Amino acid sequence: MDKKYSVAILGATGNVGRLILEILEQRNFPYSSIKLLASPRSVGQKVISPKGHEYIVELACPSAFDGVDMVFASAGSAVSKELAPEIIKRGGVIIDNSSAFRMESGVPLVVPQVNADDIKNHKGIIANPNCSTAPLVLVLKPLDERFGIKRVVVSTYQSVSGAGKSAMDELTTASRKLLQNPEPALSSDEHKYEAFVHPIAFNLIPQIDVFTENGYTKEEMKLINESRKMLHRPDLAITCTAVRVPVYISHSESVNVEFEQDVSLEDIRSVMESTPDLVLEDNPSQNQYPRPAQVAGKDPVFVGRLREDESRANSFNFWLVSDNLRIGAALNAVRIGEALVSQLQKVSA
C-alpha cells in the first residue's frame, strides 16, 4: 500500500491556504490527515472543505508540527522564517509560498514541469516561486531547450488577489464609491486606500512592492532572478516591468523572446501546442485570445497573440494569462508535494 502523509496548511484561512485545501482534495493527494494552522485571531474557526470535511483552525506554533510530514506554507516570509526550523527539526518538509527562501543556495525553487529534479536536493525546504514567474518559466523552458533563448522582455499585469483578500475587498469598496460619485474621487486622493500605494479602482499602478537601488521593484527582480534560477540560466538576459491592475484574479504577461538560432512562427507554435499544462488559444480572426476573467479558476497556462517581432530577427511576442492563486501559488505548491511524494516512493521502493 502506498504511504499516506500527515499534512499541515500554514496560513490556512487566507486565499491561498483555503485553495490548497480544496486542491489537495480535488487531486486526491495521499494524505492521512490535514491540520489547518493560522495566527491567534483565526484559532477556533470552523472550515468546511469542498468535500464536506470539517476542520478546526489551530494555532501555528512549534508543537503543532509534531508528527507532520509535509507543510504547505502561505503565511508570509516572517512566519516561514520563524517556523521552518521547527518544522525541519521535527522531520517535516516545508513547501513555502513566500519569498523567504527562494533565492537561498541549497533551497530548490520549483515548478515541477520545469525542474522537478531539483527537489532531490532539498534540506527540508522547497520554495514555491512568485505568482508571475511560475507561469512564465513553464512556457520558456521548452522554448529554451529547443531553440536557446537569448533575451526575454516581460511586462506583467497582475491582479489584486496577489496582494491578498484585503486588496480584493479594497477594489470592491473603492469601485463602488467611484461609480456612485466619480468626479471628486478621480480628482483627488481623498478616498482611503490601504492595500496599495495609490488607489487601484479604475487605475493602474506601475509598482508592485518597494523600489530597489537599481530602479526596479522587488517584484520585478523576483521574476528576473527566479526565472534564471529555475531555468538554470544564471546569466539569462531578462528584464521586467510589473504593473498592478484592477482585476480580481489572474495575472497577464506580455512577453517578447529572442532566440539564439533561426526559428519560425510554426516552430514556436508547435512547441507550445505540445507542452503539457499549456493551452494555446490564438485565433485573432475570431477575436480569440486569453483573458483574465475567462482563465480564473482554471489550471493551465493560456497563451495567445503569438506573432513575430518584425523589429528584430528571431524574436516573437506572445500574451500569457494564468490564475495566480492556482498555478502561481496553491496548485503549484500541491504539484511540488506530489513530485516530492513520487520521489519518496521511488526511494522506498
Q: Which residues are catalytic?
A: 131, 251
| CA-based radius of gyration for the chain | 21
CA trace torsion 202, 210, 115, 273 (10° rounding): 20
Single-letter residue type at 122:
H
Cell of 282: 490564438
* Rounded Cα–Cα distance for residues 256 and 152 (Å): 6
* Rounded Cα–Cα distance for residues 305 and 317 (Å): 7
Q: 133-147 and 218-231 are packed helices; what angle lies between their axes, rounded to 10 degrees? A: 40
Per DSSP, the residues of 99-127 read SSSTTSTTS-B--HHHHGGGGGG-SSEEE
Secondary-structure breakdown of the chain: helix, strand, coil percentages, each rounded to the nearest 5: 40, 25, 35
Q: Which residues contact 310 (CB under 8 A, 6 or more apart)?
A: none
What residue has cell string 485571531? Answer: 41
Single-letter residue type at 83:
L
The candidate with the shortest Cα–Cα distance to 99, out of 73, 119, 122, 135, is 73
* Rounded Cα–Cα distance for residues 116 and 336 (Å): 8
Cell of 201: 479602482
* Rounded Cα–Cα distance for residues 136 and 327 (Å): 10
Q: Give, for 128, the enclosing helix (H) or strand (E).
A: none
Per DSSP, the three-state class of 338 is helix
Single-letter residue type at 185:
A
